[in-house]
Amino acid sequence: MPRIMLLGAPGSGKGTQAAMLVQRYEVPRISSGDALRSNLEEGTPLGLTAKRYMEAGELVPDEVIIALVEDLIEKADTKNGLLLDGFPRTIAQAEALDELLGNKDMGLEKVVYLNVSKDTLLQRLSLRRICKDCGASYHLESLPPKQEGICDKCGAGLIQREDDKRETVEKRLEVYNEQTKPLVDYYKKKGILSEIDGKSGMSPETIEMQIEEILE
């Protein structure tokens, strides 16, 4: 599997696809959001710094995130490749990543852009529930757990992420449009962007098949 990045708005399905792809290709998933949430839970200094930005639906400052992701990449076993999920989210982060991976001679090969309409994003985020222990993601309509409120995978309780509540979601989408969407052009210019039109009602499996075609 090549070195890839999933690009898309909150709720575009990056997390769901990332979980499927890492199992299939046995590559590490580097998720800045997951790493921040672990730091928050453990109450580390990084978690405390990130907390107020995350709760407000804003981006954590570039220097903090770049240092965090550098560390995650250093520690990961990247011999088969790697999958970036939720990073980079700004042009400055993308440039830092280019430098970091370029220095290791392992630059990004593909960026898969999950393009989903705002209505679908809002609907997905408001009905998203995640497992409080293993982080598995559900959707109350399209991907409900077998037993209400309980994770199929580990049996723990499901919760709604604090930042999936309506007011924060609006802010996250605005931040995405302003700061992250410019990455579509950034990677288009580099010739490594492939776009998937994630229409509402498309199953995660259909999208996964399209990603596999892109990767082959």
What pairs with residue 21 in β-bridges? Answer: none
Judge whether 132 counts as a catalytic residue: no
Question: Which of residues 52 and 213 has its CB atom nearest to ligand AMP in the complex?
Answer: 52
Total residue count of the chain as it appears in this document: 216
Q: Return d(Cα 190, Cα 23) in angstroms, integer.
A: 28
Does the protein bind ligand AMP through residue 54 (CB under 6 A)? yes
C-alpha angle 202-207-211 in degrees, rounded to nearest 5: 165
Is residue 124 among the annotated active site residues? no
Per the annotation, the verdict on 14 as an active-site residue is yes
Report the residue number, 1 or 64, with the smaller CB distance to ligand AMP.
64
Q: Is 128 a catalytic residue?
A: yes
Binder among 8, 13, 86, 135 for ligand AMP (CB under 6 A) = 86
| Binders in 20-39 for ligand AMP, by CB under 6 A | 32-33, 36
> Minimum distance from CB of 147 to ligand AMP (Å)?
25
Helix axes 118-126, 166-175, angle to 10 degrees: 140
Query: Binding to ligand AMP by residue 53, rule CB under 6 A?
Result: yes
6 binds ligand AMP (CB under 6 A): no
Stretch 98-157 residues interacting with ligand AMP (CB under 6 A): none
The alpha carbon of residue 88 and the mean position of all alpha carbons in its chain are separated, in whole angstroms, by 10
- Provide the strand spans (E) within 89-127: 110-115
45-56 and 166-175 helices, crossing angle to 10°: 100
Between the CA of residue 178 and those of 60, 93, 160, 171, what are the distances in Å? 15, 14, 25, 11
Residues marked active site are found at: 14, 89, 128, 161, 172
Contacts to ligand AMP by CB under 6 A? 10, 32-33, 36, 53-54, 57-60, 65, 86-89, 93, 163, 172
